[in-house]
Amino acid sequence: MKILSVNAGSSSLKFTLLELPEEKAIISGAFEKIGLDDSFYTIKYQGKKDKKEVKLESHTTAVKLLLDELINYKVIKSYDEIDGVGHRIVHGGVNYTKSVIVDDDVLKELEKTIPFAPLHNPAHLVGIRSFMEVLPNTPMVVVFDTAFHQTMKEDEYLYALPYEWYLNYAVRRYGFHGTSHRYIAMKMKEITGEDKKIISCHIGNGASLCAIKDGKSMATSMGFTPLAGVIMGSRCGDIDAGLIPYVMSQTKKSFEEVMDDLNKKSGMLAISGVSSDMRDVEEGYNNNDKRCVTAINMYVNRIVDYISMYNTKLEGADAIVFTAGVGENSDVVRKLVIEKLSFMGVKLDEEKNSTRGIDGEISTKDSSIKVYVIPTDEELMIAKDTYELINK
Ligand code: AMP
């Protein structure tokens, strides 16, 4: 079966076409700057990447072009060879604990989730409706970033805030990157043969940690929004909410401007003064640039704080897993994190850790907690859910 795994943003649409149950990615690409004058798209196929500049008036234009390109590249002969489309949804609100097939009720429910993710969820809905217009007979599935964390207990997801905020407005921790953390739980079960107690560190441009027990999320570092938790590329992670009115009064910035600063001008970008990209900050760190050294130290400290906390919650983790852009590629960050845990007997195999493209265990045999690098695959997870739901 051919399943499209889709991530629609406000002006972008990323896709991967996969063959299921073989779990084989065939072709992928991204349509960017939809609705703008300088729109373009890229397609990756058999190790080659093609870029075309073309006017993309709407998501529907992009969807039609995507399907026509699949025909051009000879991966399908007609639109109806697409057996299902899985859509990534950032926020599933209170009710969604797992992926579902889209119907009218689901569309109505999704509309209700917009206040939780006003930037992302409307764009996801545009993406779903565009595909429904072009492929009216193809089943659509929605896969939520928040769903995996719905197993957190009340004392984990509640904030110590007025209880009516929770009751009336659903103010609580939701957590994100659930599809990735779920993938890590699944892969770890494949590797070890059982459900281990895992600390999954999804550290990319956005970053979150998750404590996983019996294949379920117990705790996670992101909160009501993806701004909380560890330090990210340009997001601040955990801060004291009380600083916001102070900064507003000192800088005369509006609330929206300060929130924009917390999301886009903070994190590694702010501390390093160089970039939100870990590769650039690492370069500064290696050249002893003072601010890059501080940025990396802060970054590592925050990850270690969460690992320590989750190790306690799990009453002793079996494994720490690194994934996503930084987790998969930065041997420096992994080494610095594990060094700080060496007092509890966590030991890195330096040679394995510095192997490019490593996929598997990077700790020594006698390490008290096993350490792994596992490349995440959210697209596969979305396609698998879609495949399973449409074959039910
Ligand atoms: P993601 O959001 O998972 O796509 O991760 C993207 C981020 O991964 C980039 O912004 C970089 O900070 C980081 N990254 C990618 N490659 C490397 C690398 N070789 N070394 C360090 N960081 C990397």
- CB-ligand 1 contact for 233 (6 Å cutoff): yes
pLDDT of res. 257: 98
| 104 among known catalytic residues | no
Determine the 3-state secondary structure of 279 from DSSP: helix
Strand partners, 19: 2, 24
- CB-ligand 1 contact for 324 (6 Å cutoff): yes
Nearest residue by C-alpha to atom 9 in ligand 1:
277
pTM (predicted TM-score): 0.96
Q: pLDDT tens digit string along 130-147?
A: 999 999 999 999 999 999
- CA 206 to ligand 1: nearest atom: 2
CATH number of 193-378: 3.30.420.40
pLDDT of res. 119: 87
Start-end of H helices in the chain = 59-72, 104-112, 121-134, 154-157, 163-169, 178-192, 243-251, 255-264, 267-272, 278-286, 290-313, 324-329, 331-340, 350-353, 378-390
| Shared fold status for 2-144 and 193-378 | yes
Nearest residue by C-alpha to atom 23 in ligand 1:
326
Is the dihedral angle over the CA atoms 209, 239, 330, 371 positive or is it negative? negative
pLDDT of res. 261: 97
DSSP 8-state class, residue 363: B
- CB-ligand 1 contact for 330 (6 Å cutoff): yes
Ligand 1 midpoint to CA 77 (Å)? 36
What is the spatial distance between Cα 274 and Cα 289, in angstroms, rounded to a whole number?
A: 10
pLDDT of res. 29: 98
CA distances from 270 to 231, 292, 332 (A): 11, 10, 20
Active-site residue (options: 145, 331, 377, 385)? 145
The residues, any chain, with a CB within 8 Å of residue 328's CB and separated by 6 or more, are 322, 373, 375, 376
Q: pLDDT tens digit string along 174-194?
A: 999 999 999 999 999 999 999
β 24-32/40-45 pair status: antiparallel
CATH number of 2-144: 3.30.420.40
pLDDT per residue, tens digit, the chain (392 aa), is 999 999 999 999 999 999 999 999 999 999 999 999 999 999 999 999 999 999 999 999 999 999 999 999 999 999 999 999 999 999 999 999 999 999 999 999 999 999 999 989 999 999 999 999 999 999 999 999 999 999 999 999 999 999 999 999 999 999 999 999 999 999 999 999 999 999 999 999 999 999 999 999 999 999 999 999 999 999 999 999 999 999 999 999 999 999 999 999 999 999 999 999 999 999 999 999 999 999 999 999 999 999 999 999 999 999 999 999 999 999 999 999 999 999 999 999 999 999 999 999 999 999 999 999 999 999 999 999 999 999 99
- CB-ligand 1 contact for 175 (6 Å cutoff): no
pLDDT of res. 331: 97
Q: pLDDT tens digit string along 202-258?
A: 999 999 999 999 999 999 999 999 999 999 999 999 999 999 999 999 999 999 999
Q: Are 376 and 134 in contact (CB under 8 A)?
A: no
- CB-ligand 1 contact for 281 (6 Å cutoff): no
Q: Report how far Cα 33 is from the mean position of its chain's Cα atoms.
A: 21
Measured distance between the N- and C-terminal CA atoms of the chain, rounded to whole angstroms: 14
CA distances from 373 to 30, 200, 317, 357, 360 (A): 26, 10, 16, 9, 5
Instruction: Kindly list the domain boundaries of the chain, sorted by start residue.
Output: 2-144, 193-378
